[in-house]
Amino acid sequence: GDSWGIFTFLCAALCNLPALPALNCTEELGTSQSIQKTYDLTRYLEHQLRTLAGTYLNYLGPPFNEPDFNPPRLARAERVPSATVDLDLWRGLTDNARLAANYRAYSLLLCYLRALDGQAATAELRHRLGHFCSSLQGLVLSIAGVMSSLGYPLPAGPSAPPGTLVAPNDFLKKMEDFWLLKELQTWLWRSAKDFNRLKKKVPPAVVTLRLEARGF
């Protein structure tokens, strides 16, 4: 009851990410390097998440920490845009759409994780969540950097999450946490593939041409 009200307020407060200035001077570094860096970050985060999720799920206790736990998805508005997508649709995404989807998802995920951090009951959880949130923020900024250097506008920052359900009980709140971590894990797996694709499509030569064209 009360905690959900605080949660919604926290999210609204924490989710106003500052608008990033256009990164003009760093464009010479090469967009392909930024994409590689973003890819590396998703791999690093995916690895970090394994430890974080293990700790958090143990904190939630059974059945959430059981390996075969496979609950049905409750019919409700999803908090985070799902990584799940039709294969042909995913293949056909423009670079802009692909990057924007990643940016939106991680912005929201960061927001929710920060809220979790605020509620974390143990020092160990706070420490792990805090560290993870820093790294995740790095990823969001990295994606923003890539979009900027390619001349794509950043999607609007996330407002307070729409239709936040007030969890009627402790168990359902834990379910929400479980699904949040699952979404995060799936997005990190997907992003590795997204940035692999982007790597191939943006070789350094293309960036040089783009810079010259813009100069005149």
Partner 1 sequence: LSLAAPPKEPVLMCRSNNYPKGFYCSWHLPTPTYIPNSFNISVIHGTREMVCEKNVFPKNRCHIRYLQLFSTVKYKVTLTVTNALGKNSTTFTFDEFAIVKPDPPESVVAKPVPNNPRRLEVSWQNPSSWPDPESFPLKFFLRYRPLILDQWQHVELSDGTSHTITDAFAGKEYIIQVAAKDNDIGTWSDWSVAVHATPWTEEPKHLTTEAQITETTSASTSSFMPPPTTKICDKGAVVGSGAVAVCWTAGLVLAAYGVLFI
Q: Binding to partner 1 by residue 2, rule CB under 8 A?
A: no
**Which two structure tokens, joined as six digits, stand for 104?**
């939106």
Q: Binding to partner 1 by residue 73, rule CB under 8 A?
A: yes
Residues 160 to 179: which contact partner 1 by CB under 8 A?
179
79, exposed or middle or buried, with CB in 10 Å at 0-12, 13-18, 19+? buried
Q: CB 189 → partner 1: shortest distance, Å?
A: 5
According to CB under 8 A, which one of 26, 58, 84, 208 is a site residue for partner 1?
84
Q: Binding to partner 1 by residue 183, rule CB under 8 A?
A: yes
Contact 111, 184 (CB under 8 A): no
- Which positions ≥6 away from 110 have C-beta within 8 Å? 133, 136, 137, 140
Residues 195 to 214: which contact partner 1 by CB under 8 A?
196-197, 200
According to CB under 8 A, which one of 19, 25, 77, 87 is a site residue for partner 1?
87
**Which two structure tokens, joined as six digits, stand for 118?**
């605020």
Q: Residue count at the site for partner 1 (CB under 8 A)?
A: 27
SS3 assignment, position 197: helix
Q: Binding to partner 1 by residue 86, rule CB under 8 A?
A: yes
Dihedral of CA 199/200/204/207: which sign?
A: negative
Q: Binding to partner 1 by residue 37, rule CB under 8 A?
A: no
Q: CB 80 → partner 1: shortest distance, Å?
A: 10
Q: Binding to partner 1 by residue 72, rule CB under 8 A?
A: yes
Of 104-112, 130-138, 166-174, 186-194: span binding partner 1 (CB under 8 A): 186-194
Widest distance between CA atoms in the chain: 62
Cα–Cα distance, 184 to 114 (Å, whole number): 13
Please, which residue, 126 or 193, has the CB nearer to partner 1? Answer: 193
- Which positions ≥6 away from 138 have C-beta within 8 Å? 41
Contact 191, 101 (CB under 8 A): no
Q: Residue numbers of the site for partner 1 (CB under 8 A)?
A: 43, 46, 68, 70, 72-73, 82-87, 90-91, 179, 182-183, 185-187, 189-190, 192-193, 196-197, 200
